[in-house]
A = this chain, B = another copy of it.
Amino acid sequence: MKFCTSCGHAVALRVPEGDDRERYVCTACEFIHYTNPRIIVGCLPVYEDKVLLCKRAIEPRYGLWTLPAGFMENGETTMAGAARETWEEARARVSNLELYRIFDLPYISQVYMFYRCDLDDGKYGVGPESLESGLYREDQIPWDEIAFPVVRETLQDYFRDRRAGSYPIQVMPLEYRPH
């Protein structure tokens, strides 16, 4: 950032008094601009022995497959955000959402939260940010065309947990991995 959101003058990076890290501080009005990690909420929608995937119509990872997920918005819960993203990207309604995976991605200051859920009536469509959507069994998933490591990890964990019959919630950091 270059300019103060409060008065429009230039900002500079410095450590405010009583703080221990650099912030963008206004050179005129001294307003301190904090920036914080963002939350990405998503769903793992399940119907019978299949999961719902979307093929991305946007960058990054255009043309690769993902679980419906996106930035959490102000004024919503993590669960409501996950359901909203699933509607927006796959035109799918979901029920019985249960928190499943949390990923810390400190190198890009993001926290992912995925909810396991039921895909209502097995119905879905294609939202504007997707090229197509589809229900995939484990052996049908395009494993070599998955958009993000957090999605691959969540899918792998889900099918393993499904065989074990129990879905413990896990939080895990993911190191940077080039695709």
Binding site for B on A (CB under 8 A): 1-11, 18, 21, 33-39, 71-80, 99, 102, 104, 106-107, 109, 111, 128, 169, 171, 173
Contact = CB atoms under 8 A, between A and B. Distances in A.
Contacts of A21: 73
Given A8-B8, A99-B102, A102-B99, A75 B1 contact: no
A37 to B, nearest CB: 5
Binding site of A, secondary structure by majority: helix, strand, loop or mixed? loop
Given A38-B36, A72-B37, A77 B5 contact: no
A39 B78 contact: no
A128 B18 CA distance: 9
